[in-house]
DNA sequence: CTCGTGGCCTTACGCCGTAAGTCTGGCGGC
DNA sequence: GCCGCCAGACTTACGGCGTAAGGCCACGAG
């Protein structure tokens, strides 16, 4: 199935990602992966120590797809672009979010990406502490949003009308009045996309962070002026 | 192993949660669960359709542990308390976050909880749309934060000094300068707890939402006054 | 020509989820 | 008191899983 040449670790990881994208993580086994590569299962173990290491590699590869913020550019724009590309990647590879919580040792691409994020914030005047807050906050927003979006019962391209119908029918209006109201009047209306929630929240976050940053810079110049 | 009486679905779910808490989700199999319950594996299938349904039940049970916001109480306090209890639950059951993204049909307790959150916001004057924004934003924060925290290489109780040492040693200062700086000067300092990041971000979120709510209420009274 | 050696394959083991079928103890109806 | 039912438990069996252990073979260096 594979063009030619000796197997490389990179072949293995990217093929595994494709398999997981198309058929779901549950269907990704060392055997199915080997079959896809035209190779026997045990051959894979010459390139990855065990399946966990393969999964580590897959997650690390996903991180490498995020836009790496550049120091010196407008920090909010860079963070926005990072969030948007991260969301796209995480939706393209819906298995990634679920893997993250079991991977305690980040890969090389992951670390490089994190370094870029922090570097951009520091260059924009964030203190170490404020950068840490911003970093954790923005990450939580992106991951948390992706987690919700991946778990939605409908795909972005779907016609939501029939699903909405079924959902509303199974939702008892008397015991879940507010959920039913929100579904009927907002979420299951044509034009609603969950992705818009992310950008709405992202703008709130960025505005809040800009405030905190301005406070800090003002304090700093006060200190300088008062000395 | 189990006191007595016929097996119930609830016994099964709570025992499975305990097993996953103590030994990790990977060690939870229908066989190990049955052994814990003093029963044969196949007997479980009289109470749950398949393992996926068991996992659904476990996740639903986790949601039932979150504080359900009460309409009529101060919305920010309720949301704060919900976030804090949710974090505690998700850390107590570290497998839950990883399961969420593969569960597309929420359980009964989950729906009831969501209804309570929205109900509290609506009672506080949030429009349907603003409540949807707030809901998605707060959820993303809690889940995203828990996802990060569960994946940390150290436990809350750990002495982080030796881990910090190893981490910093393996982190090349020249290629990851900002990450190394943050680790050295902030994260691996005694007294740092990642949980504090959550409350910092939560306050930023709540302040931003309060602003948006005030804008909306001001608009509303303008409309009334101008008519 | 020899001899590692790197890259792949073969075999085998003990787990897994679960389909299908069997046994049994207690209970409602007579 | 007896019978028949059947929910709830047990037994067996199948195909697939991750991977330990070892074998085979082409090729490049000496």
The pLDDT tens digits for A92-149 are 999 999 999 888 888 999 999 999 999 999 999 999 999 999 999 999 999 999 999 9
> Helices (DSSP H) in B101-159: which residue ranges?
108-123, 128-150
The pLDDT, as a whole number, for residue A191 is 83
For residues B157-180, give the mean pLDDT: 78
The per-type count for chain A, helices as H runs and strands as E runs, is 10, 0
Q: Chain-wide mean pLDDT for chain A?
A: 89
Per the structure, the residues numbered 18 to 77 in protein chain A that have their CB within 7 angstroms of any atom of strand D are 27-32, 41-42, 45, 50-52
Q: Of B42, B40, B60, nearest to B50 (Cα)?
A: B42
Question: What burial class does residue A8 get, using C-beta atoms within 10 Å of its C-beta: 0-12 exposed, 13-18 middle, 19+ buried?
Answer: exposed
CB contact under 8 A, B98 and A98: yes
Report CA torsion sign: A194, B151, A17, A26: negative
Question: What burial class does residue B123 get, using C-beta atoms within 10 Å of its C-beta: 0-12 exposed, 13-18 middle, 19+ buried?
Answer: middle
Cα B74 → chain centroid: 22
The pLDDT tens digits for B118-148 are 999 999 999 999 999 999 999 999 999 999 9
Comparing A157 with A54, which gets the higher pLDDT? A54
Instruction: Identify all chain B residues contacting A197, using CB atoms and an 8 Å cutoff.
Output: 132-133, 136-137
Q: Of B95, B196, B199, nearest to B151 (Cα)?
A: B95
Contacts with B205 (C-beta within 8 Å, 6 or more apart), sequence order:
A204, A205, A208, B137, B138, B141
The pLDDT, as a whole number, for residue B5 is 57
Q: What is the distance between the terminal CA atoms of chain B, rounded to a whole angstrom? A: 71
Per the structure, the residues numbered 14 to 43 in protein chain B that have their CB within 7 angstroms of any atom of strand D are 34, 39-43
Q: Which of A153, A200, A205 sits opposite B133 (nearest CB)?
A: A200
For residues A54-72, give the mean pLDDT: 96
- Give the integer Cα–Cα distance in Å for A63 and B203: 28
For residues A214-226, give the mean pLDDT: 74
The pLDDT, as a whole number, for residue B155 is 65
The pLDDT, as a whole number, for residue A157 is 65
Comparing B8 with A155, which gets the higher pLDDT? B8
State the helix-helix crossing angle for A108-123 and A128-150, rounded to 10 degrees. 130
For residues A175-201, give the mean pLDDT: 90
Look at the block and give the residue holding tokens 């504090």.
B196
Position A41 pLDDT exceeds 90: no
The pLDDT tens digits for A100-114 are 988 888 899 999 999
The pLDDT, as a whole number, for residue B168 is 76
The pLDDT, as a whole number, for residue B75 is 97
Q: Of B60, B43, B87, nearest to B202 (Cα)?
A: B87
Position A1 pLDDT exceeds 90: no
- Give the integer Cα–Cα distance in Å for A67 and A56: 20
Average the pLDDT over each of A15-19, A195-199, B137-141, B183-187 and give the range with the smallest value: B183-187
The pLDDT, as a whole number, for residue A152 is 83
CB B87 within 8 A of CB B80: no
Chain B's closest residue to A136, CA to CA, is B197
Those residues whose beta carbons lie under 7 A from strand C are A 6-7, 34, 39-43, 45-47; B 28-32, 41-42, 45, 50-52
> What is the pLDDT confidence band of residue A224, given thresholds at 50, 70 and 90?
low
Pair of tokens at residue A126? 């964030």
Position B224 pLDDT exceeds 50: yes
Chain B's closest residue to A129, CA to CA, is B186
CB contact under 8 A, B103 and A151: yes
* DSSP run (H or E) holding B59: helix B51-64
Average the pLDDT over each of A6-10, B91-95, B142-146, B159-163 and give the range with the smallest value: B159-163
Position B3 pLDDT exceeds 60: no
Residue A19 Cα distances to A2, A59, A60, angstroms? 14, 14, 16
Q: CA–C1' distance B4–D2 (Å)?
A: 30
The pLDDT, as a whole number, for residue A216 is 87
Cβ pairs A/B, distance under 8 A: 176
Instruction: Identify all chain B residues contacting A153, using CB atoms and an 8 Å cutoff.
Output: 104-105
> SS3 breakdown of chain B: % helix, strand, coil, rounded to 5?
70, 0, 30
Give yes or no for B218 touching A (CB within 8 A). no
> What is the pLDDT confidence band of residue A227, given thresholds at 50, 70 and 90?
very low
């Amino acid at each position: 199935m594979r063009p030619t040449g000796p197997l490389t670790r990179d072949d293995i990881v990217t093929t595994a990602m494709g398999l997981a994208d198309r058929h779901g993580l549950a269907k990704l086994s060392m055997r199915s992966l080997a079959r896809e590569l035209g190779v026997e299962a045990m051959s894979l173990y010459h390139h990855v120590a065990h399946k966990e290491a393969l999964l580590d590699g897959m997650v690390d590869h996903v991180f490498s797809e995020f836009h790496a913020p550049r120091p010196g550019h407008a920090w909010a724009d860079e963070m926005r672009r990072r969030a948007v590309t991260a969301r796209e990647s995480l939706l393209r590879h819906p298995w990634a979010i679920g893997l993250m919580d079991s991977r305690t040792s980040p890969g090389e691409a992951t670390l490089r990406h994190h370094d870029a994020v922090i570097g951009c914030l520091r260059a924009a005047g964030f203190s170490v502490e404020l950068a840490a807050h911003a970093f954790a906050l923005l990450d939580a927003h992106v991951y948390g949003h992706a987690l919700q979006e991946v778990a939605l019962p409908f795909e972005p391209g779907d016609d939501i009308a029939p699903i909405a119908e079924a959902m509303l029918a199974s939702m008892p209006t008397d015991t879940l009045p507010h959920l039913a109201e929100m579904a009927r009047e907002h979420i299951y209306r044509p034009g609603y996309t969950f992705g818009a929630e992310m950008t709405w929240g992202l703008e709130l976050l960025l505005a809040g962070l800009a405030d905190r940053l301005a406070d800090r810079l003002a304090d700093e110049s006060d200190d300088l002026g008062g000395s």
